Structure 1
Amino acid sequence: MLGFTKWELGKSNKTSRLRRMPRPSTRPAERRRSYDQYCAAARALDAVGDRWTLLIVRELLAGPRRYTDLHADLPGVSTDMLATRLRDMERDGLATRRRLPPPSPAYVYELTDRGRGLLPVLRALARWGAPALEGPRPTDAVRAHWFAVPLLDALESAGGSGTVEVRLDEGVFHVRLDGDGGAAYGDGPAEAPDARLRMDAATCAALGGGELSLAAGVRAGRVEVAGEGPLAAALRGGPGPL
């Protein structure tokens, strides 16, 4: 035995030649965990630069999620990859895992304070990526709450504080505004929201990308605002009741 793993037969001038093909490595690939650079940006990327990590953060910013829910709202991620990323996030202090109280036997993942501190990072990424969004591609998955992060700027620019429920054909999410630049969002309907918005996904994307102001969307009939309080009035573009 010559110990060759593959042979390739080549013929030249009626002479046969045998070429040894490289043997594939059986050593497991070593995963690099650090850029080893004394730089704040490099340290941040050590923790969140891996594929899927920031999208998991996006999901958990909407509230605690079960593993199965995360997997359903992250189309394309494998179960092994999701489990690995969640373990990495726990190790790096970005997320924790806890068991729900009885009678539910389920566990949920949720962000730590350090993990929630990534919301401004996602907002900046959404602003930067908005011009490339255009229309959805045939292979694109869509979830309503994915519009929440880019929509925060438009909602905050209207002023006011309270909870806004946003309804698209693709689903419902809600946003909590505190009036001082702080915001949070959640998947699904809100309990007793101060205002309700109805629009289509294209309008929501235009608002998030800065191509359309909320007041202009309301005037054009592309955004419907329901509610009678100060926040609803601010979202319509007018002053609230004194």
Structure 2
Amino acid sequence: MTEPASHCPANKAADMLGDKWVLLVLRAMILGATRYSDFTAAIPRISPSVLSGRLKQMCENGLILKRGEAGQQATYRLTPSGRDAQPIVAMLSEWGLKWAKRNTQVDQIDVGATMWDFHRTLQLSELPDGETVFAFTLNDIDRHNRWWIVASQGTVDLCDSDPGKPVDLYVNGPLCTMIEIWRGESELESALRSEEILLTGEPMVADSAKHWFPMSPIVRAKAAGMDLTAMSLGATPS
């Protein structure tokens, strides 16, 4: 028997958005995810059945729109309703930055999801025209510690194996420090001065790191004095 709908808008909103997987899918889409493979990279712990179920549910609730069918590389887009949920995701992220436990052990962190966030939050406008290739070495972990990001003004690709392209900048440092910088808990300039993070390669790209280095859109927006209740998190082009 179908449960009767509530007359209360807050209850209805909770039915649509009050699920962690729905919120994580929305967050991934705000950061540029459009395909099934994007969601599995951004949310590695979600099972295929749960992801498929949530995407279907979100389509039915009018939060997203699906283009294409199974086997046709279906893509998903935010509807006006989904776009209007961006400030909700932004406020939850701000709350999490302030109150959620921060001292997560590095061996508990999903490296793939973290690097997915990093590659979606590079500031492309601060990079030179054409293609810029970064090679990351995460020196505080033993597995999955080499990553490449290939960035241009139109696309950003994340690779866990060498793409065979000339590298413009090598970034070497602890994953935990890079996460702290991304979350606004540490300053990149301090990590560079102490040589905790080393940048080797093209001097112009290295010298402008404070402008392009990955950072949470929430932290960047707060630093710019933006109102999170009216902001769009934006996304790196894909």
Q: If the TM-score is normalised by the length of the shorter chain, which range does it land in?
A: 0.5 to 0.7
The aligned counterpart of 2:214 is: none
The aligned counterpart of 2:193 is: 219
The aligned counterpart of 2:209 is: 235
- Of residues 50, 64, 68, the one that matches 2:19 is 50
Aligned length: 190
- 2:176, 2:158 → 1: CA distance? 19
Larger radius of gyration: 1
Structure 1, unpaired ranges of 5+: 1-27, 178-183, 238-242
Is 1:80 equivalent to 2:54 in the alignment?
Answer: no
Distance 1:82 1:63, change over 3 A: closer
Please tell me the root mean square deviation across aligned C-alpha atoms, in Å: 4.6
Distance 1:224 1:173, change over 3 A: same
After TM superposition, the structure 1 stretch with the greater mean CA deviation from structure 2, 112-121 or 202-211, is 112-121
CA contact (8 A) 1:99 1:106 kept: yes
Letter in 1 for 2:72: A
Distance 1:31 1:206, change over 3 A: farther
- 1:89, 1:192 → 2: CA distance? 41
- 1:36, 1:137 → 2: CA distance? 45
- Of residues 112, 115, 118, the one that matches 1:145 is 115
The aligned counterpart of 1:111 is: 77
Structure 2, unpaired ranges of 5+: 139-144, 212-238
State the percentage of identical aligned residues: 21
Letter in 1 for 2:8: Q
- 1:90, 1:193 → 2: CA distance? 41
Counterparts of residues 26-65 of structure 1 (less than 5 Å) = 30=2, 36-38=7-9, 44-60=13-29, 61-65=31-35
The aligned counterpart of 2:228 is: none
CA contact (8 A) 2:65 2:78 kept: yes
Query: Larger relative contact order (C-alpha < 8 A, sep ≥ 6)?
Result: 2
Distance 1:80 1:123, change over 3 A: same
Structure holding more strand per residue: 1
Q: Write out per-residue CA displacement over residues 130-167 of structure 1, whole angstroms, 9 at most, x where no aligned residue.
A: 45132237665432335439x95xx77xxx73488583
Letter in 1 for 2:20: R
After TM superposition, the structure 1 stretch with the greater mean CA deviation from structure 2, 220-229 or 199-208, is 220-229
The aligned counterpart of 1:97 is: 66
CA contact (8 A) 2:135 2:146 kept: no
Structure holding more helix per residue: 2
Distance 1:38 1:96, change over 3 A: closer
Distance 1:137 1:145, change over 3 A: closer
- Of residues 158, 175, 181, the one that matches 1:188 is 158
* TM-score scaled by length of structure 1: 0.54
Is 1:161 equivalent to 2:122 in the alignment?
Answer: no
CA contact (8 A) 1:65 1:110 kept: yes
CA contact (8 A) 2:106 2:176 kept: no
Letter in 2 for 1:145: M
What SS does the corresponding residue of 1:132 show, helix, strand or coil? coil
